[in-house]
């Protein structure tokens, strides 16, 4: 399936809107510099070559940095830089969840965190609430902040994994380089900037707090197990001819299994035409 979304892999005005107030969080929003060596998944013995990209991240509790998985994927070397400090600090990848497009970075140098207050998690924002997006998009080197409104909360295909997970649509400008940056409301993080819809204008998506909290909870045992999935392909049962073929009653509903994925929870449990 070809997704319509664009990962903000090239992962830089400073205004503090009142309704989605960002407060003094600027030093807690960092620019992430990633050197990566990607491989061809169809020919895994063949490297696509070394490249350098940038993204954004947030300092959170425990001297950790939260960013996107697609920012840190295939990394060989990572550095981070605070907004008010020209120095770059070496970071390492501590955990990554490709299905939810989240990653945790760790900086071992304690000096990096001096004077930085971690950003706290907020709640799932309501429709029409105002939020601000902080990050380092292309076109400049300094921190950028844009304002937008929450327009939709629903299951959305994450470009990094094609998984359908909860996401929040906002109309704030999200550009290449914003990936991994925090989305703020009332001084707290309510999401992580993730992707944009290529066919629209100012249609961006963020990973909401419930997904972030699930990611954190999963990591408490030092291992990321991922989000559960059923592991089937299916047809809906709206087609009258299909319903007649399967002898469905007028009020019958559900889906018809067309395939189970190998090694998935449904493998050897569900079968075709169940």
> Distance (Å, rounded) from C-alpha 262 to C-alpha 209?
31
Where a domain ends, among 113, 129, 152?
Answer: 113
Domain total for the chain? Answer: 3
CA atoms within 13 A on the CB side of 44: 2
Among 93, 113, 133, identify where a domain stops.
113
The catalytic residue positions are 70, 101, 179
Asked if residue 136 and residue 199 are part of one domain, the reply reads: yes
DSSP single-letter state for residue 242: H
pLDDT score at 22:
55
State residue 110 phi and psi, 5-degree precision: -65, -20
The arithmetic mean of pLDDT across residues 83-89, rounded, is 92
Same-domain check for residues 92 and 183: no
What is the distance between the alpha carbons of residues 160 and 97, in angstroms, rounded to a whole number? 10
Report the pLDDT value the prediction gives residue 20, as an integer from 0 to 100. Answer: 56
Where does a domain end: 47, 82, 113?
A: 113
* pLDDT winner (highest mean) among 35-39, 171-175, 249-253: 35-39
Q: Is 184:123 a contact under the CB 8 Å cutoff?
A: no
Question: Whole-prediction pTM value?
Answer: 0.84
Q: Residue 79 belongs to a domain with what CATH number?
A: 2.40.10.10
How do strand 75-81 and strand 64-67 relate by DSSP bridges? unpaired
Do 203 and 130 share a structural domain?
yes
pLDDT digits (tens, 9 = 90+) for 116-158: 999 999 999 999 999 999 999 987 888 999 999 999 999 999 9
Domain that holds residue 59: 26-113
Pair 124, 155 in one domain: yes
CA distance 230 to 257: 11
Q: Are residues 77 and 146 in the same domain?
A: no
């Amino acid at each position: 399936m070809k997704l319509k979304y664009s990962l903000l892999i090239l992962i830089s005005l400073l205004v503090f809107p009142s309704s989605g107030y960002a407060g003094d969080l600027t030093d807690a929003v960092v620019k992430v510099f990633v050197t990566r060596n990607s491989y061809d998944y169809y020919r895994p013995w063949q490297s696509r070559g070394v490249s350098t990209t940038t993204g954004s991240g947030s300092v959170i509790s425990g001297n950790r940095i939260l960013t996107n998985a697609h920012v840190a994927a295939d990394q060989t070397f990572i550095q981070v830089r605070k907004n008010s400090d020209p120095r770059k600090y070496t970071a390492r990848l501590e955990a990554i969840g490709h299905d939810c497009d989240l990653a945790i970075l760790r900086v071992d140098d304690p000096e990096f965190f001096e004077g930085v207050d971690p950003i706290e998690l907020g709640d799932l924002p309501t429709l029409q609430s105002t939020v601000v997006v902080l990050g380092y998009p292309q076109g400049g080197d300094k921190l950028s902040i844009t304002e937008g409104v929450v327009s939709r909360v629903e299951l959305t295909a994450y470009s990094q994994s094609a998984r359908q997970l909860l996401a929040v649509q906002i109309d704030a400008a999200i550009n290449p380089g914003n990936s991994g940056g925090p989305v703020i409301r009332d001084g707290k993080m309510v999401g992580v900037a993730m992707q944009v819809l290529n066919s629209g204008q100012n249609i961006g998506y963020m990973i909401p707090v419930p997904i972030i909290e699930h990611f954190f909870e999963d990591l408490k045992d030092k291992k990321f197990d991922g989000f559960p999935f059923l592991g089937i392909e299916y047809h809906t049962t709206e087609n009258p001819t299909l319903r007649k073929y399967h002898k469905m009653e007028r009020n019958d509903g559900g889906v018809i299994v067309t395939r189970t994925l190998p090694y998935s929870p449904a493998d050897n449990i569900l079968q075709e035409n169940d």
